[in-house]
Amino acid sequence: MKKILIIVPDGGMLFESAGIADILMHANQLHPEGLDRPRYHIDIATTQPHQVIHGQSGLNLLADHRIHELDPRAPLDTIIITGRGQTEQEGTAVVDWLRLAAPHARRIASVCGGAMLLAQSGLLNGRRATTHWKLLETLQVAFPEVRVEGGPLYIQDGHIWTSGGVTSGFDLTLALVEEDYGFSLARDVAQDLVMYLRRPGGQLQFSRYSLRQNSGSGPINALQTWILENIAADLCVEKLAERVAMSPRNFTRVFTRETGASPARYVAEARLAAARQQLEQTADTLDKIAAQTGFGSSINLRRIFEKQLHLTPGEYRQRFHCRKMA
């Protein structure tokens, strides 16, 4: 029997931890014949001095343990951290306990902002990792020794697993079940719970397209606005530099410093964002969208989508289009 400890900081989304526990418990209930004991024993631990975990929805969860009462040297199969907590003190309590417990656990995993605590404990040093797309840049800046990746729903690097935001923890949990007991059990759990064992679309977590916007009022800020309004124009570095009366070399240096992205990368992100928006909100053909967003042809549009988002424009539209799309 594998002992699983789920650490749930206060003030988060409780369905993350509840969903993970339900997936593991369902794995216990399927094909029980021949089992002398359940596959998983699951405990919930809180970071609070009491056993009530308050969720951001107003609902509460009763924990089995308070983390400060647990012996970190006790052997565990898997430790799962479902968030980073609301206060620095709460996060530090988890990190301090985790540093002591890590050598005694076979596997450690995080969901969403829990990756920040794994990084703080040093467990992600030199490893590939992911987190919620809103925290990717924060994780990379705060912990440059971590190899942060923004695409996958979850990443396994040795015995450390990290997952993206919210429901990606369910994908990770099914992967843990598959690693522990094989494909057939994980598939049966997924089918019973009406889940994908592996989601279509390259297992990608989709961020909202929020382009970096310089907060000032200088020429670079004005140029960013012009780019977004003229996305189909010739946006090569030379043309953009000319608009702000700079040499291409100096323009690239200044633009990158003020926006955090090179001109070429910013244009590419802007065009991809514009194409995603049109696929979501219009019924325009792919050729028309490609022309309006600077990709030129539907072939180029498809190539960029497959490279960046791991699915075709048509698949993206099917997943994200407005129900009352014109």
DSSP string, 195-227: --SS-TTTTBPPPP------SS-SHHHHHHHHH
179 shares its domain with 230: no
Q: Specify the pLDDT at position 209.
A: 60
231 shares its domain with 139: no
103 shares its domain with 168: yes
Q: What are phi and psi for residue 318, nearest 5 degrees? A: -60, -35
What CATH number is attached to the domain comprising 278?
Answer: 1.10.10.60
pLDDT confidence of 36, banded at 50, 70, 90? Answer: confident
Q: Specify the pLDDT at position 124.
A: 98
| 322 is an active site residue | no
- Tell me if 142 is assigned to some domain: yes
Q: Give the model confidence (pLDDT) of 40-92 as tens digits.
A: 999 999 999 999 999 999 999 999 999 999 999 999 999 999 999 889 999 99
- Tell me if 308 is assigned to some domain: yes
Q: Specify the pLDDT at position 321.
A: 85
How many Cβ atoms are within 10 Å of 225's Cβ, its own excluded?
11
Catalytic residue, candidates 112, 241, 286, 290: 112
Give the percent of the chain with pLDDT over 70. Answer: 94
- Tell me if 212 is assigned to some domain: no
Q: How does the average pLDDT of the chain come out, rounded?
A: 91
- Tell me if 180 is assigned to some domain: yes
Q: Give the model confidence (pLDDT) of 275-315 as tens digits.
A: 999 998 899 999 999 999 999 999 999 999 998 888 899 98
Which of the 8 DSSP states describes residue 113? T
Domain that holds residue 152: 2-192
| Burial zone of 326 (CB within 10 Å; 0-12 exposed, 13-18 middle, 19+ buried) | exposed
pTM: 0.76
Bridge partners of 204? 152
CA 173 to chain centre: 15
| Burial zone of 249 (CB within 10 Å; 0-12 exposed, 13-18 middle, 19+ buried) | exposed
176 shares its domain with 236: no
Bridge partners of 42? 4
276 shares its domain with 185: no
Which H or E element spans position 129? Answer: strand 128-129
Q: What are phi and psi for residue 313, nearest 5 degrees? A: -55, -40
Among residues 304, 312, 313, which one has the least CA distance to residue 285? 313
181 shares its domain with 239: no
Task: Tell me whether strands 40-46 and 105-110 are parallel, antiparallel or unpaired.
Answer: unpaired
How confident is the model over 124-150, as a mean pLDDT? 94
Q: Specify the pLDDT at position 215.
A: 56
266 touches 224 (CB < 8 A): yes
**In the structure encoding, which two tokens stand for residue 244, read together?**
């702000």
Q: Specify the pLDDT at position 134.
A: 87
Euclidean distance between CA atoms 132 and 117, whole angstroms? 13
Task: Tell me whether strands 60-62 and 2-8 are parallel, antiparallel or unpaired.
Answer: unpaired
How confident is the model over 115-141, as a mean pLDDT? 95
What CATH number is attached to the domain comprising 123?
Answer: 3.40.50.880
Question: What is the chain's percent helix, strand, coil content, to nearest 5?
Answer: 45, 15, 40
Euclidean distance between CA atoms 303 and 316, whole angstroms? 13
Terminal CA-CA length for the chain: 54
Sequence-distant (6+) residues with CB within 8 A of 221 are 213, 214, 215
Amino acid occupying residue 106: R
Which of helix, strand or coil describes residue 79? strand
Q: Specify the pLDDT at position 150.
A: 83
pLDDT confidence of 140, banded at 50, 70, 90? Answer: very high
- Tell me if 204 is assigned to some domain: no
144 shares its domain with 87: yes
Classify residue 31 as left (phi > 0), alpha (psi -120 to 50) or beta.
Answer: left
Q: Give the model confidence (pLDDT) of 163-204 as tens digits.
A: 998 899 999 999 999 999 999 999 999 999 999 887 765 456
Which of helix, strand or coil describes residue 41? strand
99 shares its domain with 164: yes
How many Cβ atoms are within 10 Å of 236's Cβ, its own excluded?
13
Q: Give the model confidence (pLDDT) of 221-230 as tens digits.
A: 899 989 999 9
How confident is the model over 137-159, as a mean pLDDT? 93
Euclidean distance between CA atoms 107 and 113, whole angstroms? 18
110 shares its domain with 148: yes
- Report CA Rg, the chain: 23
161 shares its domain with 233: no
Which H or E element spans position 54? Answer: strand 52-54
pLDDT confidence of 326, banded at 50, 70, 90? Answer: very low
Structurally, the chain folds into a number of domains equal to 2
Which of 150, 175, 192 is the last residue before a domain boundary? 192
How confident is the model over 211-220, as a mean pLDDT? 68
Tally of residues, the chain: 326
73 shares its domain with 122: yes
Question: Of 60-64, 100-104, 159-163, 270-274, which range is least confident?
Answer: 270-274
How confident is the model over 138-167, as a mean pLDDT? 93
